[in-house]
Chains A and B, each alone.
Chain A
């Protein structure tokens, strides 16, 4: 370890030996694999949110829906700063190695246990309470993990390679997301949607797989040695006895914590979560893109953009950290509106009328719903696919309210003959009614479904649009790599060794967990505010003002208050 440490200090002038290089590879590999698994664990919960809320919360309850939403989208993020405090303190007192070994065990254990909790149907309210508790443990563990891994690698790195080395840690958050998406898609496709979503179905497998991944990672991490800088401090008896007080109780350090948060990390957090999470949520919920297509777009874009983390980490060693991060933020501020406008434009049916194939629609069997409160009305829901010349397929839902003779729906099962005037097509439907009497078939005339556009409920875009969307997500992830690639080295250089773990973890997790993690939730909330009686859809782009606003303030603060100088000496 001493040898590595010496190589580190002389790294500016001497090339690292082969032995040192292989030990460096192990340090980066062991730190990165563990962190990647922690991100994987954290993300699978969010990606399976819909299924989890169905399995662990009662149906048709406003309160439970709220609880599930809060538990799934917010709880894990909100407790991350607390994890940063608890484990950051431990890391500065007992050491980096054992602390992030502990966070790994907690994360893996809680993830595995989430996969074992029976559903609401089996154990009632104990189910959501257990899941919430385990989710909180996940958030705490992640809060302690990242700072430890970044600090550990940075404290092994030579000054002129610190950005490059720590950038490997930075790839783990995105690769964790990639792994989580890939595993879920693979299991879902192999099992089918119904089996995957059942109480003990395939959605639990990603949680169980985590146990294997964590055991492997623990085995690797046990072979690691303590950070040379921390070991030296410990040997000299210079470690902090109260890192929380030193970090936040003294102005000289606290001002740097605040500067790191408001001048770098809060902007980085919103850029990260807009590019990778809000983009997916927008494609799925606003653009109504097909489940598989929306996820594949993210997967391909992530894969293409991930080398950017290492590239910008390396560039930050040459040109400084600050301006690379600031350019990433500025690019996001300027590009988000045009990018998301393009998403809407590419999928807007009005823009695509000229592309509809001749007779390019296929109708599905309609469903009829009888409402006993309105005996003279019948709801007929018909979905149909419209085919476009560029290969796109849009599924529309048309809902018709039909007037029927009063009291004619009095039989247990009435026959309903639907006549489509334009196509001449006829359809017989069975409509269930709880009031048993006899009645002859009712003839109802329905207008042709193709004469009314209806509401788009799912879109499959054509090849050209598909790749344009991948490009637009890719561009957003490039912004992510610019702000995120150099940030570990930047944070490490901002704080002294004795309180580094604590000091860098808190702003990182407030910036990412709170400002970033709440992007999908707050952006959706802002869109809700824009909905009015005249405009029930609201302004789908309004939610972008949250990340744009936060990134703008951060850009101004970072540009003016931060220095671009690389700290060569992190031994102090």
Chain B
């Protein structure tokens, strides 16, 4: 079976190379049949990748320990749910997932453009074939996921406990879908440049892919943040870790791209900028994939030091160099059709938002690579911490949110001051009321950036609400529909526009949560014995008793031992119980004693959160197992060679001992205001993106009509 998988990958690599070659030849020699053959080779490659992926997934589900990948990343006692995800928790498996998703996206894009873009599509197929070939080449040459072990071990190492979280099941595929999705607009942009068809055709054909990629990438980033909040045990959702930054950068540039292409579609401007942006987005997506693998920057989320860093670096550099060369070569063909009429216009604000987004990305890029930069310049490896990122990104984020509100109300070409005043008066009034209300009734003034952000968010939400209201009331005047129907019809008929507004509202809500939770978070670390209590932000938190469970922890991660605490919380007349715990996983280290092995492996916090729209109470516990050290050492000596069930009894006795007579445990409690709105804002933005991406019935009707008239034309010309 491993042989079949390897063979699939090798054939897929050859197919990808053939697809690239055939497409280029077909495009240069204007031989249609070669182009079609190249496109079909991409479909074929996608099929082969899928087969390989399915084979590997089957191996993980069966826990086929003769495969190196399965033995290192999974085990028979890993819960089934996490056996499935273990595939992409490994280096080689994640490459296969990348290649599979990429080939599926490429097939879909080429299938949808099979009757249009005759000049551009073959080159796009060639580019996509080359990118896929690179990933397949990595797998065939260095990181073959189907490598077998000479002797299959009795048990695998198991999935890393930190990754046993539902958000981690879908986070990597989301992120990768986002990364690979941006390869489609990139490939078509390259085709457009080569063929000098630099109009908006390539944009119209791939804009939906860019939007889908953007949506997936954003969802992936948010899921990662949620995982960090609930699993990593430090209580934050964003740490400016290199790997987090790596996923954020292509998203920011991608955001700039999906805005600026509208300017090109509407006004024929910004052509150089758009092709540069899409190349940058794709290069950053590759960089994101690379950073997780290279080991060049210290991150807690990286794969182990790997053998493919150099190959990746060479590939990214050649992508950047070739795209830059291509853009420069075609510079004469990329002249704008129009000039900027006025700075008070939507296109001018789109340019501004682009500059801000790209600037933000550059700041993050600089901070992420600062350890390398500083080592090169001063010889000392130094890093900038989260405070640096916070200080620089906060003002940029404020400007960005403000632009989110201003952009939608501006007209294309030129807007008069009077018109601007008319649309802005209500939102400005709302922002002012919000400001006064916050100053009068809350302590929001303690943090000026947060206060500004709250007002800007109110402004954006008012703008969006006003746009919906204006559109719907116009419809009502014309059609006499009721409000809900008018709103639904309005959104349905102008999905891109109103979906976009929803995204803006969602992002504003998200920033509301970010600003409130970073400025007004309260945190305490305490050490408590059972019966003791402490207070935090009005919560009275009492450590009632200790818990100890063997097998089957509450989150179903398959941890053998789980020590926890029952905490009763009181706030006013509100009472509830939180049960944070800590999972202990056994270590595979043979030098440890038979019993201590169970306590010396990884340990992860299973935090308990009281979710609330106004405030989250987040609680983690760190049981002190050092009190058990002596009995554990004694047990190690006595029961070294005992059979497994005897050891299990010993562990049970130790757990019982901990439960009955627990030593003081360390707790971390965080009261985080409005943090839930980050996830709610994310969900609103996701909904908006779906509305914008979903094809409208009118558009489908138009396409069908166009197809029929084309066929009719053909019939007529034949007759």
Asked if chains A and B come from one complex, the reply is: no
Residue positions of A touching B, CB distance < 8 A:
none
Residue positions of B touching A, CB distance < 8 A:
none
